[in-house]
């Protein structure tokens, strides 16, 4: 379970988050809000990429600030721009890179990577230059690179922003089928159909926290 | 080194990454020590034979040699003008031999294998407080960065062209610099998210 207790954050004088209290045991949770509402900062705190200026965060009882390594083993993070997430030149190597510290042998890592790529419709792309893949394929690759370590939680920060409609659907379908707890930061309200809970943020504060229909009604009122 | 692995099963592909890297380093050192254009020419011929042995597709070879030839011609002209014709031949042949060999190395070696080989070789440095996996990762990221920066450069040039500013160095250099810094920032964050900053 993910917990935020009195979490606040500032960038210089600018307050980004202010007194956020949340307990998130649900399988599918979304953070929505306008640009600058603090939703990405809140999501980044889950695996310790951003440290809170006030309050504390817990992931299954662990503190991402003090136990970053243990938390990051449990929490995978998919960024908006897959180009910035690709670390190795070919798709297979990039997925296998995530398993560097898994203790698996090199052939086993390559086989596991190829297996997962195939599962995500990227079979035959293991030796393909990762930067030459289409936008949708790159985002699926980024997802594979995270899922190969079998995290308990997957945080996705606006993962469909750069995708066209078809790739957005493909990505959403993949996300829907995952057994992991998923925390999705998004502007794309179409993705939230099957979600258990939607948290709406505005200027660093939680202004709605409900089932998708009710929370999104409040969000629509907020943005006019 | 453009980071473009060319899948294949030739003897050069099957050879382990460590000895291939050592051979490349020896060759690169040799071309800078040799003073005879004939020897250097011989090395260039050997490297070309290596492309044949590795069965690198002709189109890729052509693309690489075209870029290399252009670069070598500029260097040749500058050296001839500033130093002498002999020096121009020597420097150009050295560059062609070293860069063509490095490109061949990346065509027949997976970056993952290169990273593993460097990590193994750097293993003894652990006793001096260095982390071999960081050194290996650095090598891998360097190769990967070439592809990432080429993509950024192409997009920036395209954007400048769309605004009719393709001949303005500022219109290309400023966004390229900004996007490169942002890319480095995001890559660092992505590596942290994948646990790369964590102590083992």
Answer whether residue A99 shows pLDDT above 80. Answer: yes
Region A192-205 average pLDDT? 92
Residues of A within 8 A of B133 (CB-CB) are 100
Kindly state whether residues B72 and B129 are assigned to the same domain: no
pLDDT score recorded for residue B199: 62
Answer whether residue A175 shows pLDDT above 90. Answer: no
Say if A135 is an interface residue toward chain B (CB within 8 Å): no
ipTM score of complex: 0.70
Kindly state whether residues A52 and A1 are assigned to the same domain: yes
How does residue A202 score in pLDDT terms, banded at 50, 70 and 90?
Answer: very high
Q: Give me the percent of chain A exceeding a pLDDT of 70.
A: 100
For B1-16, what is each residue's pLDDT tens digit? 444 788 889 999 999 9
pLDDT score recorded for residue B123: 87
Kindly state whether residues B97 and B125 are assigned to the same domain: no
Could you give the CA distance from residue B12 to residue A221 in angstroms, rounded to a whole number? 64
Kindly state whether residues A120 and A62 are assigned to the same domain: no
Kindly state whether residues B160 and B71 are assigned to the same domain: no
Cα–Cα distances (Å) from A46 to A40, B4, B199, in that order, read: 10, 36, 19
Kindly state whether residues B147 and B200 are assigned to the same domain: yes
Outline where chain A has alpha helix (H): 39-46, 68-74, 91-97, 106-119, 135-147, 165-176, 212-223
Q: Domain span at residue B164?
A: 111-200
Q: Dihedral through CA A97, CA A102, CA A108, CA A110, nearest 10?
A: -10
- Most A-contacting residue of B195, B198, B199 (CB-CB within 10 A), to test interface: B195
Contact A32, A187 (CB under 8 A): yes
pLDDT score recorded for residue B1: 45
Which of the listed residues A98, A129, A150 is the one where a domain comes to its end?
Answer: A150
Which of the listed residues B109, B141, B157 is the one where a domain comes to its end?
Answer: B109
By residue count, chain B amounts to 200
Bridge partner list, A3? A23, A58
Residue A209 falls within a domain, yes or no?
yes
Of A49, A84, A129, which is closest to B187 when you measure between CB atoms?
A: A84
Bridge partner list, A7? A20
Provide CB contacts within 8 A for A182, sequence distance 6+: A27, A28, A29, A153, A154, A155, A156, A175
Region A37-63 average pLDDT? 94
Kindly state whether residues A67 and A170 are assigned to the same domain: yes
Which of the listed residues A103, A125, A150 is the one where a domain comes to its end?
Answer: A150
| Rounded (10°) angle between helices B17-33 and B85-108 | 180
Q: Domain span at residue A94?
A: 86-150
pLDDT score recorded for residue A128: 86
Kindly state whether residues A136 and A91 are assigned to the same domain: yes
**What CATH number is given to the structural domain containing A66?**
3.40.50.300
Of B7, B141, B193, which is closest to A47 when you measure between CB atoms?
A: B193
Which of the listed residues A150, A165, A183 is the one where a domain comes to its end?
Answer: A150
Contact A201, A207 (CB under 8 A): yes
Kindly state whether residues B116 and B193 are assigned to the same domain: yes
| Low-confidence residues in chain B, pLDDT < 50 | 1-3
Answer whether residue A188 shows pLDDT above 90. Answer: no
Answer whether residue A32 shows pLDDT above 60. Answer: yes
Number of domains in chain A: 2
Which of A42-51, A90-99, A159-168, B156-165 is predicted with the least confidence, judged by mean pLDDT?
A: B156-165
Which of the listed residues B109, B129, B150 is the one where a domain comes to its end?
Answer: B109
């Amino acid at each position: 379970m993910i917990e935020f207790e009195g979490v606040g954050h500032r960038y210089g004088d600018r307050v980004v988050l202010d007194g956020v209290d949340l307990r998130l045991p649900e399988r599918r949770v979304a953070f929505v809000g306008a640009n600058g509402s603090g939703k990405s900062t809140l999501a980044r705190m889950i695996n310790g990429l951003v440290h809170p200026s006030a309050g504390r965060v817990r992931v299954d009882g662990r503190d991402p600030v003090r136990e970053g390594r243990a938390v990051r083993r449990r929490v995978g993070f998919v960024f908006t721009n897959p180009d910035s997430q690709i670390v190795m030149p070919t798709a297979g190597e990039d997925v296998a890179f995530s398993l560097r510290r898994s203790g698996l042998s090199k052939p086993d890592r390559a086989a596991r990577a190829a297996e997962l790529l195939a599962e995500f419709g990227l079979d035959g792309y293991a030796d393909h230059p990762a930067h030459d893949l289409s936008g949708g394929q790159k985002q699926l690759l980024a997802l594979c690179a995270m899922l190969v370590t079998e995290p308990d939680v997957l945080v996705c920060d606006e993962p469909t922003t750069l995708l066209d409609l078809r790739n957005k659907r493909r990505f959403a379908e993949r996300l829907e089928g995952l057994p992991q707890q998923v925390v999705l930061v998004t502007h794309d309200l179409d993705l939230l159909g099957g979600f258990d809970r939607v948290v709406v943020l505005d200027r660093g504060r939680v202004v709605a926290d409900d089932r998708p229909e009710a929370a999104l009604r409040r969000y629509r009122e907020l943005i006019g | 080194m453009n980071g473009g692995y060319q899948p294949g099963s030739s003897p050069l592909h099957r050879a382990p990454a460590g000895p291939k890297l050592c051979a490349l380093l020896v060759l690169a050192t040799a071309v800078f020590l040799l003073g005879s254009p004939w020897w250097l020419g011989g090395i260039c011929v050997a490297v070309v034979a290596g492309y044949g042995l590795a069965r690198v597709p002709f189109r890729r070879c052509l693309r690489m040699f075209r870029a290399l030839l252009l670069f070598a011609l500029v260097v040749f002209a500058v050296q001839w003008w500033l130093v002498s014709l002999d020096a121009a031949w020597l420097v150009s042949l050295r560059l062609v031999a070293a860069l063509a060999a490095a490109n061949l190395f990346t065509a027949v070696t997976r970056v993952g294998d290169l990273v593993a080989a460097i990590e193994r070789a750097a293993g003894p440095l652990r006793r001096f407080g260095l982390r071999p996996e960081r050194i290996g990762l650095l090598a891998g990221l360097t190769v990967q960065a070439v592809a990432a920066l080429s993509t950024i450069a192409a997009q920036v040039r395209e954007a400048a062209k769309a605004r009719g500013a393709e001949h303005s160095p500022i219109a290309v250099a400023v966004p390229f610099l900004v996007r490169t810094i942002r890319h480095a920032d995001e890559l660092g964050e992505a590596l942290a998210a994948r646990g790369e900053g964590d102590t083992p």
